[in-house]
Chains A and B, each alone.
Chain A
Amino acid sequence: MESIIFHQPRYLGEAIQLLHETPNPALLAGGTDLIIDINKERKKVETVIDLSRIEVLKTITVNEIEIEIGSMVTFANLCENPIIKQEFFGLFLCAKHFAAPQIRNMATIGGNIINASAAADSVPVIMSLEGKFVFNSVEGERIICAVEYFSNYEKEKIKPHEVLTKIKLPRKGYLSGFYKLGKRNSLAIARINAAVSLKEKEGVVEKINIALGAVGRYPFRVTEIEKICVEKPLSYLESDEVLIGLETAVYESIKNRPTMPFKKEAVKGVYILALQSALGGELNG
């Protein structure tokens, strides 16, 4: 292993300047993937910029219309935040079931997004909550919604001189939920995950967002199904039309994968459990 240049900026401006000046820097967030990749020599890195000392990236701020989660907020932080538990229950559930306690203490929401794994747990939740990513660079700020970022990933993905600074979630009062199917209950990489956010009035669906993960190269929303659910009674959400719609979406997404026959069936159960966690609120927490 060759030696690596290591920067540990204290301020965001400093980090942005370093990013501007350094060719191919690796950004270090929680390190639960990067450090392992470096140690196992799966990734060759010349310069590491460690973001762990930049306080502004570790804060969660709330205003009237939205919550802003710093990219260096850990999953343990997310679990502990009362507003996230109250208003963004799906994100709370995702954080609660993320990996294992040691990893939740280290891993950050920003790292989970930027790593862009097919099975990233936070991405479907952010998509279902209509979240946006904020990138900063010497050129200024770039804001992009999570769905757009991943549906057009090759064009929109983080640029070498950018840093993800915030995740914005609008405070729309959605009931939200999340479910992950893994091979075990802790330290499991999702086989399938699903996030549901919805608004209902007197038992009628006003709006619903459904996002699926680990059933394609990146998580995605199933907008066609979402549309047909609007103005239907809540019971419709568990109807065959919706379930078959999900089955088809998964089939189309991973047609040629050996896991397709399993995943297209299992997605129904995963979705129903995510939906129930949204409707059941804290009871399922």
Chain B
Amino acid sequence: MSYRVIGKEVKRVDAVNKVTGKAKFTDDFFERDMLIGKVLRSPYAHAKIKNINVDKAKALEGVVEVLTYKDLPNIKYATAGHPYSLDPKHRDVADRTILTDKARHVGDSIAIVIAKDELIAEKALKLIEVDYEVLPFVLDPEKAMEPGAPIIHDDRPNNVISSVGQEFGNVDEDFKNADYVFTGEYETSVVQHCHLENHTAYAYMENDRIVIVSSTQIPHIARRIVAEALGLPWGKVRVIKPYIGGGFGNKQEVIVEPMVAAMTLAVNGRPVRYTMTREESFIATRTRHAMKFYMKTAVTKDHKLQAIHIKAISNNGAYASHGHSIIMSAISKFRPLYNFKSFKAEPKTVYTNLPSAGAMRGYGVPQIFFALESHLDDIAKKLNIDPIEFRMNNVIQAGHVDPISKLTVRTFGIPECIKKGKELIKWDEKQELYKNQTGEKRRGLGMACFSYFSGTYPVCLEVAGCRIAMNQDGSVQLMLGATEIGQGADTVFTQMAAEAIGIPVDMVHIISTQDTDVAPFDTGAYASRQTYITGAAVKQAAIEVKKQVLEIASRKTGLKVENLDIVDGKIIEVGLNRLICDISEIALEAFYDRIDSKPITSDTSVNVRTNAIAYGVSFAEVEVDMLTGQIEVLHLINVHDSGTIINPILAEGQVHGGVSMSLGAALSERLMFDERTGAPLNNNLLDYKLQTIMDTPNIEAHFVELPDPTGAFGQKSLGENPTISPAPAVRNAVLDATGVAFNKIPMNPQSVFEKFKEEGLL
């Protein structure tokens, strides 16, 4: 398939606006008489509010209103940005109220102050008198499941949110007959998204409706959840999403929107803004689940994987948020990669008194692949075989059907990805070079594979809407419910519309702001779904527009529609390649023909019931300083099978960002808590060691383009994918360099040193 616009390095449609500072983000909008909201947060990890007195705060000049749980409807709701489910059993756990009468983590929301300005609001927070009954707390999920552990939510007395698992084949039988059985224990830490723009929103009332302007990935879902949290009809809420400064899943959560809605309701509809500080963002939004995996694997003597038995514990923190969906995603999305005869997963998602974990780029999958790909390297080492050959010996093939989800693998680029990565990093040559090192600095190579889905089908609904309206000059407005969150969605949708209609990119005007009153229905940016799912809607709408244009051209010329085409904004006769007219002539006729006037528009929606499995591999080269425990990543190569790449330069950007996020988790990032109090120790960007550009190695992004037949243009997912495999690749490279298997990340100098000591290397 040859394309004119798809696959080209089209400049981001929002590039100029963003670099010149013209692009408006939530905090760039101002309303008359805007008030400021602030939230009082619990200093205790677990405490009942015995009494709360707001009189002094209310009396402070400039304070307009102070709210506690007593002032708000006692409605429990769920914050996860999933599509609504008609099946009540499939809905998220509704376990929180906007303000609480019991603090379940340090940072839980206790009271709201609404004041004339921020300083007054902050002063008023200090005047609120809360009498807490401090309760015992628990941070470790294994301890939380022990009898007698503090009960965090009364309806889950064992603190287990869910322990639903999955299996196929006969694991017990396969282990009984196994030639080899290997076990391993792997653990990841709590990390955070650290999007540039903190959570922020403001709300006001227009007649009896609440309007919320918010930095969200999911405006349509936010509207529903705000209505649920306040017990309002859904139509009474309108959500507007302008440009947003990153989300990475943390804004696939409805966190500040119900708060600002409650605030404006409390002050007769005056506008109220609530913007979190970075310190709040670390503890009062979401984190990535820390997970612990116990893996047991059966292997035959010719090194074929037979059975895998996974026990896993996911630390969910204080509120369910996305809850068990995350570890379910992990145990589902890793499956269509290696050929296991039997599989059994027993995951548990557990409440603790930590800040809530929720959606974060990769949705549980980075955690499971850290465990699995580390485990496979450990097995290869014990069997004394090449880790790449071991993997190649066990991968699935195109045509594979997952026994549980029934998803079919239609394109499988792993063998090509591995081949390419292996050559690029000079695997064989360097393996030879780095044999038998004994010095202070040791180098090594490692690799790791992954699989990921394009969207959430078959677990959730996948629906996307698209509306296109043609202007008199033949250009079009492209309206979507899907959101640009920095990932480049607007640009790739623009390319898709331009491609499918046959007009240049600059004749597509995408409406970047989603307003739930006018934007078509789409559930938003998550699950790496938009290019695949919304892309299908864009193509369908564009084809409909093209058809209408050609029908008018046909009427004009007497030629059949199939003999006409639109190329670069011109109507041509196919075959002769003869120019008939400019598209603007057709558009003008559509608008103003005295008899046939009917402006060209399409308004469509797709319900996608396929899923395209995307793949990739990371290759890492590291140098370990044996004296200080420092790990330097010298080179990192990601090779992706994401089907057709719509925009190579944006795709490369996705890979750079994702790799950086994974390297942070591998080497330096960990949100730490005081074990004696449950208080965060490093909820700021100085002490939380997000990778800086000085820590970022040379990252290479490569693509193996196998067009997937289910993708509108052959595309598969890419957004979250690059975050999955770098961490285990680096871990395996450290194993190669030093012989030491790190089964817990991050591998910061102190933990590396301690492990070296334990292994007798020092």
- Give residues in A with beta carbon < 8 Å to B: 1, 100, 181, 183-189, 191, 259, 261-262, 265-266, 268-270, 272-273
Contact = CB atoms under 8 A, between A and B. Distances in A.
Contacts of A188: 689
Interface stretch (B83-91, B185-193, B295-303, B745-753): B745-753
B750 A259 contact: yes
Interface in B681-719: 685-687, 689-695
Contacts of B748: 183
Max count, chain B CB within 10 A of own CB: residue among A181, A189, A259, A270: A181
B750 A191 contact: yes
A178 B630 CA distance: 17
25 contacts: A100-B692, A181-B628, A181-B630, A183-B749, A184-B668, A184-B690, A184-B691, A185-B694, A185-B695, A186-B694, A186-B695, A187-B685, A187-B686, A189-B686, A191-B749, A261-B754, A262-B750, A262-B754, A265-B627, A265-B757, A266-B627, A269-B440, A269-B625, A269-B626, A272-B440
Given A1-B119, A183-B748, A266 B753 contact: yes
A273 B630 CA distance: 12
Contact of A184 (B627, B628, B695): B695
Nearest to A1: B119
Contact of B749 (A1, A100, A187, A266): A266
Contacts of B628: 181, 266, 269-270, 273
Contacts of A266: 627-629, 749, 753
Given A265-B757, A269-B625, A186 B692 contact: yes
Nearest to A97: B694
Max count, chain A CB within 10 A of own CB: residue among B119, B695, B762: B695
A231 to B, nearest CB: 26
B692 A265 contact: no
A259 B754 CA distance: 10
A265 B689 contact: no
A265 B625 CA distance: 12
Contacts of A189: 686-687
Nearest to A273: B628
A272 B440 CA distance: 11
Contacts of A1: 119
Which 7 residue pairs of A and B lie closest in terms of their CB atoms, listed nearest first? A269-B627, A186-B694, A269-B628, A185-B694, A186-B692, A183-B689, A185-B695
Given A259-B750, A261-B757, A262-B750, A184 B630 contact: no
A265 B762 contact: yes
* Dominant SS among interface residues on chain B: loop
A273 B440 CA distance: 11
Contact of B694 (A184, A261, A265, A269): A184
Given A183-B668, A184-B694, A189-B686, A272 B627 contact: yes
Interface in B708-758: 748-750, 753-754, 757
A244 to B, nearest CB: 13
Max count, chain B CB within 10 A of own CB: residue among A187, A259, A272: A187
A79 to B, nearest CB: 15
A187 B692 contact: yes
B438 to A, nearest CB: 16
Contacts of B440: 269, 272
Given A186-B694, A266-B749, 12 more contacts: A100-B692, A184-B691, A184-B695, A185-B695, A186-B695, A191-B750, A261-B757, A262-B750, A265-B753, A266-B753, A268-B627, A269-B440
Interface string B585-611: 000000000000000000000000000
A190 to B, nearest CB: 12
Nearest to B754: A262
Max count, chain A CB within 10 A of own CB: residue among B440, B630, B757: B630
Contacts of B685: 187
Interface in B595-641: 625-630
A29 B474 CA distance: 60
Nearest to B762: A265
Given A188-B689, A270-B628, A262 B694 contact: no
Nearest to A41: B122
Contacts of B693: 186
Contacts of A185: 692, 694-695
Nearest to B122: A1
B126 to A, nearest CB: 10
Contacts of B119: 1
A188 B627 CA distance: 19
A187 B664 CA distance: 14
Contacts of B749: 181, 183, 191, 262, 266
A262 B748 CA distance: 12
B67 to A, nearest CB: 24
A259 B119 CA distance: 39
B350 to A, nearest CB: 28
B628 to A, nearest CB: 4
A265 B756 CA distance: 11
A279 to B, nearest CB: 16
A191 B751 CA distance: 13
Contacts of A261: 754, 757
A268 B750 CA distance: 14
Contacts of A272: 440, 627
Contacts of B753: 262, 265-266
A269 B629 CA distance: 9
Max count, chain B CB within 10 A of own CB: residue among A189, A265, A270: A265
Contacts of A181: 628, 630, 749
Nearest to B751: A262
Nearest to A271: B627
Nearest to A258: B750
Given A265-B757, A266-B629, A269-B627, A184 B686 contact: no
A185 B749 CA distance: 12
B726 to A, nearest CB: 16
Nearest to A270: B628
Contacts of A184: 668, 689-692, 694-695
A75 to B, nearest CB: 15
B632 to A, nearest CB: 9
